[in-house]
Structure 1
Amino acid sequence: MKNEEIRSLSNEELKERIAAERESLTKLKFAHEISPIENPTKIRHSRRLIAKLETELRAKETNK
């Protein structure tokens, strides 16, 4: 996701997206523990996307 797309989301959409990404990250980690996934950088990208979403959510909540 681009930063512009993240900024355009509402607080509720951000919360939903964070929950979905966390669930996806959990599944990726679990799959990687069982047998190495083809592209392990997906885990890093997922963690970073969650961080970006949380940062934007926090920024929106503090600017109210």
Structure 2
Amino acid sequence: MKASELRSKDATELGKELESLLRAQFNLRMQRATQQLSNTSQIGKVRRDIARVRTIMTETAGK
């Protein structure tokens, strides 16, 4: 997800997006632990998306 897409969302939508990304991260970690995850690069992508969302939330909170 691009930062420009995230900037167009309001705080509640960003919160929901963050929650879904955290759930996805948890599921990927469980899949990796049980040796069911074939594409491990997904974990890094989700982590970067979480960081993007949190950054945008911080930026909008300061305004």
TM-score in terms of structure 1 length: 0.93
1:41 is matched with which residue? 41
Counterpart of 1:5, as a letter, is E
Please identify, of 16-25 and 34-43, the stretch whose mean Cα deviation from structure 2 is larger. 34-43
Instruction: Select between 20-29 and 30-39 the one with higher mean Cα deviation.
Output: 30-39
Identity of aligned residues (%): 24
Contact conserved, 2:3 with 2:56, CA < 8 A, in 1?
A: no
Give the number of aligned pairs: 63
| 1:16 corresponds to 2:3 | no
Q: Which runs of 4+ in 1 moved over 6 A?
A: none
Give the TM-score normalised by the residue count of structure 2.
Answer: 0.94
Q: Which runs of no fewer than 5 residues in structure 2 stay unpaired?
A: none
Unpaired stretches in structure 1, ≥5 consecutive residues: none
- SS of the residue corresponding to residue 35 of structure 1 reads coil
Q: CA RMSD in A?
A: 0.8
